[in-house]
Amino acid sequence: MQEDTTQVQAPASLAQTLLSPVEAPSHDGTTQVLRGGEAEAPARGGAASGGRSTILPRVEFVGEVPRLVVDARDRFEAAKVLGRGGVGEVVLARDNDIERPVALKRLLPELEGGAAIMARFVEEIRVLGRLDHPNIVPIHDVGVDPDGRYFYVMKYVDGETLEHVIERLAAGDPEYHQRYSFERRTEVFLQVLRGVQYAHAQGVLHRDLKPANVMIGRFGEVVVMDWGLARSREESARFPVDDKLTTLTAPRGRRAPADKLRTMEGSLLGTPAYMSPEQARGEVATLDERSDVYSLCVMFHELLTLEHYLAGKAGVSECVAGVLRDPVPPAYMVASPHQSGVPAELAHFITHGVAKDAAGRHRSVTAMIDQLLAIRDGKVPVQCSATMMKRMGAETMHAVDRHHRVVLGVAGVFATLGLVGAATVLRALVAALG
Smallest CA-to-CA distance from 264 within 251, 283, 278, 277 is with 251
pTM for the complete prediction?
A: 0.76
Q: Residue 349 carries which side chain, given as an amino acid letter?
A: F
Alpha-carbon gap, residue 105 to 92, rounded angstroms: 9
Q: What integer pLDDT is reported at residue 381 of this predicted model?
A: 81
Q: What integer pLDDT is reported at residue 28 of this predicted model?
A: 44
Smallest CA-to-CA distance from 367 within 270, 290, 300, 421 is with 290
The length of the chain is 434
Q: What integer pLDDT is reported at residue 36 of this predicted model?
A: 38
pLDDT in tens, the chain (434 residues): 444 444 334 333 333 333 334 444 444 444 434 333 333 444 444 333 345 688 898 888 988 889 998 887 889 999 999 988 777 899 999 999 999 999 999 988 877 667 888 888 898 999 999 999 999 999 999 998 888 888 999 999 999 999 999 999 999 999 999 999 999 999 999 999 999 999 999 999 999 999 999 999 999 999 999 998 999 876 665 555 444 433 323 323 333 445 544 554 445 678 999 999 999 999 888 899 999 999 999 999 999 999 999 999 988 899 999 999 999 999 999 999 999 999 999 999 999 999 999 999 999 999 999 999 999 988 878 777 777 776 666 666 666 666 566 656 655 655 665 655 666 665 665 565 55
